Amino acid sequence: MTRPNIVFVMSDDHAAHSISAYGSRVNTTPHLDRLADEGSRLDAVYCTNSICTPSRASILTGTYSHINRAPSIYSEFDYRVPTFPQVLQEEGYQTALYGKWHLGRSEKARPRGFDDWRIYPDQGAYVDPVMIGPDGEEQLTGYATDIVTQQSLDFLERRDPERPFCLLVHHKAPHRPWVPHPRYDHLYEAGTIPEPETMWDDHSSRAEVVRQVRMQLDDLRESDVKEPVPEELRGEAEARERASWKYQRYMRDYLRCVQAVDDSVGEILGRLEADGIDENTIVIYTSDQGFFLGDHGWFDKRLMLDESLTMPMLIRWPAQIVAGSRVSDMITNVDFAATLLEMCGANPSALPEQQGRSFLPQLRGETNPGWRQSVYYRYWEHDDPEHHAPAHYGVRTPTHKYIHYYNDGLGTPGSSDRVMPVEDELYDLAVDPHELINVAADPAYAGVLEEMTALTAQLQEEYGDAPYQGPNTPRLEWPT
């Protein structure tokens, strides 16, 4: 069979529940929905460390953060483990990357394995962004999402039609500070957006360190909501009303940013069809993690709760995937590299350190014997200066979630040295799918807690990660 092409579109911080194919109550994403209608929608894809740089390093290498050593947004990726684009390039694929990289600013962290690339420095800017390429830096004119789309279309235009390609389209949207294109000024006006049912979660049973996290809607800055808080909403007594006011403006801009990403997917799909290559081109849409969209009263990510943990993933490949199919097995971002290599017929041993498994059988509607029944997660950054999210690890199964807040930076770049109390959370997802009631201290769940603790230890051993053993736990060395 002819080797397939890959278009891997990844946005930044795009939560699945703001895609209509995943049941968004608010916005409509017709082009993303098309991927779901004509391909597969994956319903249980989880990141293994819910923040930009680590998720990207895991996706590229098929490894957990403690293996690729890019555990925080302050990390410099150092290629101690190879990436799937490097493998595909060696196997004769034409490779290109446009958009957000965010794996470090040093020379050693620059993209490798790409015939062509243009990246933003760190997050980049929404309007007139600077982009770095093999020949240096230049400032471009226009809206970031549209620029990256055009760079991708230009690559498709000038590619060698005799060889397969792998194109990475990495949008910076809809990352904070959520600057939309003016063409969407008419959409999702502030005041019209329904509030999520968990927005007024009082967090009464959560770990103390989680209650202290500065990701409340009221923590959104003026630069996030684009106008000063009205005088009459500034008092202590108006906290709830002010959170609602900020939520409306935050979501308006977030959803408008998503709209341009949806356009991008539509334009690329259109070009593949016009070129007559869409049948054997795999189009993947995902995001580096999920995001709280006012859920539990929060914005941002980091925590292991489902809104942050879950990644959207839609895959269209008419040659191999039945239209409208669904995958419910638990998949992680560590599985992506193995899957992409198998799709392209590349040798999986080219990534010797990888810890993932290919889910291509599930995409073809086959069962994959011995597939995992649990997902190990670890957020390494600890007590960062803005959000103050605590370091934690844990396990999600289809029915339960265990989270252990060990609360120590372990020398991770960007973390504070502040050691906070060690706490646990346990959620019974079968009866509490919104994760509102922490049952870690409930005697009725003592047996489950014990099982989940043991499962965490077992997965740590399997993946070669070290459990936390108090403030004297040895510090790992991270490249900086």
Binding site for Ca ion (CB under 5 A): 12-13, 52, 288
Between strands 136-139 and 130-133, the pairing is antiparallel
CB atoms within 10 A of CB 410: 20
CB of 198 to Ca ion, least distance (A): 21
Identity at 471, one-letter amino acid code: P
In the bound state with Ca ion, the residue whose beta carbon lies nearer, of 71 and 164, is 71
In the bound state with Ca ion, the residue whose beta carbon lies nearer, of 377 and 427, is 377
In the bound state with Ca ion, the residue whose beta carbon lies nearer, of 301 and 400, is 301
How many Å apart are CA 154 and CA 188, to the nearest integer? 32
Residues facing 5 on adjacent strands: 281
In the bound state with Ca ion, the residue whose beta carbon lies nearer, of 278 and 300, is 300
CB atoms within 10 A of CB 473: 14
How many Å apart are CA 269 and CA 32, to the nearest integer? 10
Nearest to 303 by CA among 216, 416, 398: 216
In the bound state with Ca ion, the residue whose beta carbon lies nearer, of 257 and 448, is 257
CB of 289 to Ca ion, least distance (A): 5
Nearest to 412 by CA among 127, 56, 72, 23: 72
In the bound state with Ca ion, the residue whose beta carbon lies nearer, of 207 and 258, is 258
CB of 455 to Ca ion, least distance (A): 27
CB of 354 to Ca ion, least distance (A): 22
How many Å apart are CA 138 and CA 136, to the nearest integer? 7
CB of 50 to Ca ion, least distance (A): 8
In the bound state with Ca ion, the residue whose beta carbon lies nearer, of 33 and 288, is 288
CB of 55 to Ca ion, least distance (A): 7
CB of 239 to Ca ion, least distance (A): 28
Residue 393 phi, psi (nearest 5): -140, 165
For the chain, percent helix, then strand, then coil, each to nearest 5?
Answer: 30, 15, 50
Nearest to 250 by CA among 9, 13, 10: 13
Nearest to 374 by CA among 325, 479, 304: 304
Cβ atoms 4, 344 nearer than 8 A: yes
CB of 322 to Ca ion, least distance (A): 31
Identity at 357, one-letter amino acid code: R
In the bound state with Ca ion, the residue whose beta carbon lies nearer, of 176 and 316, is 176
How far, in whole angstroms, is CA 367 from its chain's centroid? 26
In the bound state with Ca ion, the residue whose beta carbon lies nearer, of 118 and 301, is 301
Provide the CB-side half-sphere exposure for 427 (13 A, CA).
Answer: 22
CB of 174 to Ca ion, least distance (A): 10
324, two tokens: 């409208």
Query: Which letter does DSSP use for residue 124 in this model?
Result: -
